[in-house]
Structure 1
Amino acid sequence: MKLSRLVLAVTLGLSATSVYSHEFWIEPQKFQVENGEIMEIYLKNGQNFVGSKLSYFEKQFSRFELAQGDVLTPAQGRSGDQPALTTSVDQDGLLVVLHETTPTTLKYKEWAKFAKFAAHKNFKNAEADHKAAGWPSENFRESYTRHVKALIAVGTGEGVDQNYGMETEFVALSNPYGDGFDGNMQVQLFFENMPRSNTQVEAFERAPDKTVSITLHQTDDNGIAQIPVKPAHTYLFDAVVLQPYTKDDKAVWQTLWAALTFQVPK
């Protein structure tokens, strides 16, 4: 069975592997707003598309912007704000919210936890690479950053996403709010502005009754994945880069997490 067709339908809290990864995403109170309507935009961290709301702290991000086409506007907030951003946009069209965090480190006290994370994210060579580098099998650290986007419809929501130069990034090639959307969400995954081919994409689907299902997909040779989506459902796409950390000796691994959130209209 192809990975792109592998469905892991799970109920909340029952995924054995999800405990080894915590997603980070942008979630507005409403994904579809009228022109000029006040928007409450939350930063969330959690599992299975259920998470805690995080506050606005400048030291915790390197980038926080609103984009419509080529026009980018810095997200303005005050320390401790929750929601992290409250704003409005008058211009009709597709609004893209961009957020990149500053690095954070975590410690793996035991090998098993890292091994399960690596297996879940389909990093087949992680164990061999770790041993070849001579790194310890316990009490080692990982440095991680988040690189997340959300698609919001302002008015008609018409428009296109683009590559905004994030370190790793999903670019939506389909607009779920646009006329003629056929229920297939096409995205292209990048790392350092190059397409990530043959890479696992984890898709979280939240139904109107809050039930969450998870499916695994894989990008093609051009870094493109096509994922079927349903009306009135909310989605989080997630993909991770794992590479050796080379900046200093505070960590041995580095992960960079790309995420994209959106909602399909009824």
Structure 2
Amino acid sequence: MNKWIFSSLLGLASAAQAHEFWIAPDRFSPPTDAPVTLSLRVGEGFLGEPVGFGQPMAVSLRWHNLRGNTDLTPQLPATEQASVQLSFDQPGTQLIALDTQPISTELAADEFTAYLREDGLERVIAQRQVSGQSALPGRERYRRHIKTMLHVGGKSDSMVGVRTGQTLEIVPLMNPQRLQPGDALPVEVLFEGAPLPRALVKFWSRRGQQFDMVTTRTDAAGKSTTALPWHGAWMVSVVHMVPNVDGKGHDWDSHWANLTFELPAASSAERKSQ
């Protein structure tokens, strides 16, 4: 990587309590030495609102490729900016991984239960029932662990399936660049490095005004396989929640992970040559 540019944060909506939060590159397959603008978005429907990059919200921002990994966190601005712009001097797969500072929130009991059900956390609903907490507000501290996958210079490589070491992580077990619409993408979900069984996995897609979501569950080995019906940008996400044990006034610690990538519109012959 040989360029790092920041653009100012102007008039961006505050959406800290919104749902999904992801890295949105302006393109997934840039030429070598050409800029890629990365922005953050938060909200629903794989559309959301822009939020800022900066040191106040980041625990870690790391860049991974076949040459190793680089900590970009010190290069983040002291105040949040609308986007960052990177360029890469070598072709191949590049992973950009962001881990955020924890955020505390409290929801009314019925809202918390609805949120748990929406994200497949029925196990937590049952735990709250057993402990007599069902009618109490949900006091939660959540962290984001998000990634985006870029393929520079039209090339992809074995970095596609590399684990970056995030607390909650989604790892593709097949190269999306080699898939055609309708093909299935297997993924593995890991929590603290171990397979996470029975996690609800959501695949998000938006084409213009049309939004679609496909869901599945991981098996006992933390893996799931989902058919992707069409080309374009995709996001795969998962949420995991565990009881809080540090005694700091939160009942639950939750972790939110996602990965954004592109299923290209290239021909089968072009994909096989990558």
What TM-score do the two structures reach when normalised by structure 2? 0.82
Higher mean C-alpha deviation, range 179-188 or range 33-42: 179-188
CA distance in 2, matches of 1:70, 1:22: 34
CA distance in 2, matches of 1:151, 1:255: 24
Give the 3-state SS of the residue equivalent to 1:97 in structure 2: strand
Task: Please name the residue that 1:3 is paired with.
Answer: none
Cα distance, 1:88 vs structure 2:
0.5
8 Å CA contact 2:93–2:157 kept in 1: the answer is yes
Structure 2 residue runs of 5 or longer lacking an equivalent are 1-16, 266-274
* 1:107-130 superposed Cα distances (whole Å, 9 cap, x missing partner): 11x211011111112222323312
Amino acid at match of 2:198: N
Give the 3-state SS of the residue equivalent to 2:177 in structure 1: coil
2:130 to 129, 132, 144: 132
Task: Please name the residue that 1:112 is paired with.
Answer: 110
8 Å CA contact 1:174–1:181 kept in 2: the answer is no
2:38 to 37, 41, 60: 41
Change (3 A) 1:237 1:102: same
Say how many residue pairs are matched.
Answer: 244
Task: Please name the residue that 2:246 is paired with.
Answer: 247
8 Å CA contact 2:39–2:53 kept in 1: the answer is no
8 Å CA contact 1:21–1:117 kept in 2: the answer is no
Task: Please name the residue that 2:256 is paired with.
Answer: 257
CA distance in 2, matches of 1:126, 1:77: 36
Task: Please name the residue that 2:174 is paired with.
Answer: 174
Greater relative contact order, per chain length (Cα 8 Å cut-off, separation 6+): 1
Task: Please name the residue that 2:91 is paired with.
Answer: 92
Amino acid at match of 1:111: A
CA distance in 2, matches of 1:218, 1:115: 19
Q: What aligned pairs does 1:174-253 form with structure 2 within 5 A after superposition? A: 174-178=174-178, 183-207=183-207, 209-253=208-252
Amino acid at match of 1:24: F
Cα distance, 1:183 vs structure 2:
2.8
Task: Please name the residue that 2:22 is paired with.
Answer: 25
Structure 1 residue runs of 5 or longer lacking an equivalent are 1-19
Amino acid at match of 2:153: G
Q: What aligned pairs does 1:4-19 form with structure 2 within 5 A after superposition? A: none
Task: Please name the residue that 1:13 is paired with.
Answer: none
Percent identity between the aligned chains? Answer: 22
8 Å CA contact 2:181–2:229 kept in 1: the answer is no
Task: Please name the residue that 2:61 is paired with.
Answer: 64
Cα distance, 1:139 vs structure 2:
4.0
Amino acid at match of 1:99: L
Give the 3-state SS of the residue equivalent to 2:171 in structure 1: strand
Task: Please name the residue that 1:9 is paired with.
Answer: none
CA distance in 1, matches of 2:144, 2:243: 17
